[in-house]
A and B are shown apart, each in its own frame.
Chain A
Amino acid sequence: MHPIPVTTTATATSEISSEQGEDCVEAGSSVISARNIDVFYGEKPALTNVNVEIPRHQVTAMIGPSGCGKSTFLRCLNRMNDLIENCRVKGNIFLDGEDIYAPEVDVVTLRMRVGMVFQKPNPFPKSVYDNVAYGPRIHGIASSRADLDEIVFNSLDRAGLLDEVRDRMHESATGLSGGQQQRLCIARAIAIAPEVILMDEPCSALDPIASARVEDLIDELRQKYSIVVVTHSMQQAARISQKTAFFHLGELVEEGDTERIFTTPKDSRTQAYITGRIG
């Protein structure tokens, strides 16, 4: 079914190990650390005692069966959970050593630094240009019209979408295909130059070819951003991530190098999941 041959997994992972050494000094040090995270929806616990480190300039995959709390955890990282009426988060999350749940933290600033791409492409019902320009505009990032143009073009270029939309910058973004819309959402997220990009199953609404393009894109973006990807596809996690965290029933069961998780899982539940016995 999948157009990408399984062998890619091997190449991808072997590349990582060689790359890790020559990446910038900070690569691999953690950009986000989550300590003792508990999340409740009302009285119902959704996550219990999650501890995880998100490495800088790498792709971290969160895998696990549906309903195990992957999205919930992802939303903790940019405090989108604040928007859910009865959701309570306990514990600490440090972004570059700063507790993002501290009372003095401004969520607007936090979300400038931690961008998010959603499961279903959600472009604004505006032009392609305005979609990408939205973030820079509200934050006043661009100093001039030309500056803004440059940000928009750069972001689209980095999202690998520029060539496809160059002639339709001022047409409605809702006219793009699903895959293009999702890459537009990525371009929109990187237009405000975040440090971390969170992606919640970014390919689940896309066809295999569009998914492959997004996967390639994620791999490229890792040069500049730290990326956390939620996915329920183990193959995808294996292809694109350097680090994997496996969630099960609201617990972080196991985390570690992707290669190791997929070859020698320590926990029996991880083993069961990657061999397709649960999920």
Chain B
Amino acid sequence: MNSAVLPQRIRTRLRRRHAAEKRFRCYGVVALCFALAFLFVLLATIIINGAGVLIHKRMLFEVVVSEHHGDRYGAMIKDSWKAQFPEVTERRQRRALYGLISRDAEFLLRERLADVPVPDNGIVVLSVPFSSDAGEFLETDPDKRDSFSKRLSTEQRGWLERIEAGGKVETVFNSDFFLNADSREPEVAGILGALIGSMLTMCVTFLFSFPVGVMAAVYLEEFAAKGRLFRFIEVNINNLAAVPSIVFGLLGLAVFIGLFGVPRSTPLVGGLVLGLMTLPTIIIATRAALQAVPSSLRYAALALGATPMQAVLHQGLPSAMPGIFTGAIIGMAQALGETAPLLMIGMVAFVADIPDGFTSASTALPVQVFLWADSPERGFVEKTSAAILVLLAFLAVMNSAAIYLRKKFELKW
């Protein structure tokens, strides 16, 4: 289109309008890039920090199982370890030496001996983790190992390098991290306990908040008389969605633990507290989704003689399902990342066992992140980032499940 035919005044204005349009788009692109850059830096940092957790160094360790130690596995480990360094005599040196292998070694030995009988020569070959500092030292490039001068003595470094030269050090996938629960020793601390704790907690949260939330929303939307009480409840549900999460923790402590005697530190009580927190989100989302269903469908069902319940179950809810799932996933994602309320109900306790049910003591992923980030040992730094990655992965899996469900319901149309 040739704008030359237009009057000068309009042409100038047109030029300015197009320029404004371009500027507007630029702002958008800049804002988007800004957000993406932050996201990228964030993710990259976490991945770089956490990736190291995937592999670690272990030692192939020949333990001499001797009768006179009985079941003192720690002593067997120490003796066998000491035997490899004949020059070590002083008590102080011995302590430094023992500090190089993980204190977990004796448990590994006990487990091994429980499963497999001792061979005739009395020697059991065990793959044991190094202590956190020693492991990190061995993972470091030989040229850059000087930075460890503060954490490991020259003597200790010498011993480690000797072991390494002896070919007894192996680099393996760190299955400990994925299969263990928390531990005081960073080298064997794992995420599985917290992961299962989070899964169990999320199950409780979903099973509690989804049905209750959807029911409440259906009632409010389809059955409740829209009077003053209704508006009061409506306003309060909206307010509840904005209540700081720690308040729900206090409530859980007082009501679930104090009043009903639900065992503390368990996925059950954690799930209930998070469920309470998620409830308003689900109610609000469900109501919005129900409102978005064309009322003509409901009327069609009612005019055919459906009861109001049938109308909403057959026509309202199925069409609203995608929206309800979207709301539920937002609520669940929030709940998954929530730390504060769990601190109030004791899920912050140190739990070295993988929870085996809804009422066994447990922690949750974000709490685990918090605990590790708070630990003074250097070995936990890497674990913290890795735990965040596991948390993000869990979130991604949960979201995909929701998207899948949503698609499935959409296809029914």
Return the CB mask of A147-184 against B: 1 if under 8 Å, else 0.
00000000000000000000000001010000000000
Interface set, chain B 280-306, CB cutoff 8 A to A: 294, 296-297, 299-306
List, in ascending order, chain B residues with CB within 8 A of A6's CB.
Answer: none
Of B226, B294, B412, the residue contacting A122 (CB under 8 A) is B294
Q: Is the CB of B310 within 8 A of A138?
A: yes
Segment with Cβ contacts to B, from A109-117, A214-222, A270-278: A109-117
Kindly report which residue of chain B lies nearest to residue A112, judged by CB atoms.
B305
Asked if A192 is at the interface (CB within 8 A of a chain B CB), the reply is: yes
Q: Is the CB of A134 within 8 A of B301?
A: yes
Asked if B153 is at the interface (CB within 8 A of a chain A CB), the reply is: no
Q: Is the CB of A118 within 8 A of B304?
A: no
List, in ascending order, chain A residues with CB within 8 A of B307's CB.
Answer: 108
Q: Is the CB of A134 within 8 A of B304?
A: yes
List, in ascending order, chain A residues with CB within 8 A of B318's CB.
Answer: 125
Asked if A85 is at the interface (CB within 8 A of a chain B CB), the reply is: yes
Of B296, B305, B319, the residue contacting A111 (CB under 8 A) is B305
List, in ascending order, chain A residues with CB within 8 A of B296's CB.
Answer: 118, 120, 122
With both chains docked as a complex, state the minimum distance between the C-beta of A91 and any C-beta of chain B, in angstroms.
21
List, in ascending order, chain A residues with CB within 8 A of B306's CB.
Answer: 108, 134, 138
List, in ascending order, chain B residues with CB within 8 A of A172's CB.
Answer: 413
Return the CB mask of A44-79 against B: 1 if under 8 Å, else 0.
000000000000000000000000000000000010
Most buried by A among B304, B310, B314, B413: B304
List, in ascending order, chain B residues with CB within 8 A of A111's CB.
Answer: 302-305
Interface set, chain A 96-121, CB cutoff 8 A to B: 108-109, 111-112, 115-116, 118, 120
List, in ascending order, chain A residues with CB within 8 A of B302's CB.
Answer: 80, 83, 111
Q: Is the CB of B314 within 8 A of A116?
A: no
A115–B300 alpha-carbon span in the complex (Å): 10
Q: Is the CB of B310 within 8 A of A118?
A: no
Asked if A124 is at the interface (CB within 8 A of a chain B CB), the reply is: yes
Asked if B315 is at the interface (CB within 8 A of a chain A CB), the reply is: yes
Determine the interface band of chain B, counting residues with CB < 8 A from chain A: 20 to 34
Kindly report which residue of chain B lies nearest to residue A80, judged by CB atoms.
B303
Interface set, chain B 334-369, CB cutoff 8 A to A: none
A-B contact count (CB 8 A): 61
With both chains docked as a complex, state the minimum distance between the C-beta of B409 and any C-beta of chain A, in angstroms.
11
Q: Is the CB of A188 within 8 A of B304?
A: yes
With both chains docked as a complex, state the minimum distance between the C-beta of A135 and any C-beta of chain B, in angstroms.
4
Q: Is the CB of B304 within 8 A of A125?
A: no
Kindly report which residue of chain B lies nearest to residue A111, judged by CB atoms.
B305
A115–B315 alpha-carbon span in the complex (Å): 18
Of B294, B314, B319, B412, the residue contacting A134 (CB under 8 A) is B314
List, in ascending order, chain B residues with CB within 8 A of A118's CB.
Answer: 296, 299-300, 303
Interface set, chain B 10-39, CB cutoff 8 A to A: none
Q: Is the CB of A108 within 8 A of B300?
A: no
With both chains docked as a complex, state the minimum distance between the C-beta of B16 and any C-beta of chain A, in angstroms.
44
List, in ascending order, chain B residues with CB within 8 A of A138's CB.
Answer: 304-306, 310, 314
Interface set, chain B 247-299, CB cutoff 8 A to A: 294, 296-297, 299
A192-B299 contact in complex given A125-B412, A138-B310, C-beta closer than 8 Å: no
A268–B302 alpha-carbon span in the complex (Å): 39
A138–B314 alpha-carbon span in the complex (Å): 10
List, in ascending order, chain B residues with CB within 8 A of A134's CB.
Answer: 301, 304, 306, 314
Q: Is the CB of B305 within 8 A of A124?
A: no
Q: Is the CB of B413 within 8 A of A174?
A: yes
A80–B314 alpha-carbon span in the complex (Å): 19
Q: Is the CB of A109 within 8 A of B303?
A: no
A189-B299 contact in complex given A85-B226, A134-B314, A138-B310, C-beta closer than 8 Å: no
A120–B319 alpha-carbon span in the complex (Å): 18
Of A120, A174, A189, the residue contacting B304 (CB under 8 A) is A189
Query: Known pairs A109-B305, A116-B303, A139-B305. 16 more at Cβ < 8 A?
Result: A80-B299, A111-B304, A111-B305, A118-B296, A118-B299, A120-B296, A122-B296, A123-B300, A124-B301, A125-B319, A134-B304, A134-B314, A135-B304, A138-B305, A138-B306, A192-B305
In the complex, 24 of the A-B residue pairs with CB atoms within 8 angstroms, ordered by the A residue number, are A78-B303, A80-B299, A108-B306, A108-B307, A111-B302, A112-B305, A115-B303, A118-B296, A118-B299, A120-B296, A122-B296, A124-B315, A125-B413, A134-B306, A138-B304, A138-B305, A138-B310, A138-B314, A172-B413, A185-B300, A188-B300, A188-B304, A189-B304, A192-B304
Shortest 9 CB-CB contacts between residues of A and residues of B: A122-B296, A116-B303, A111-B305, A135-B304, A112-B305, A125-B413, A122-B300, A108-B305, A138-B306
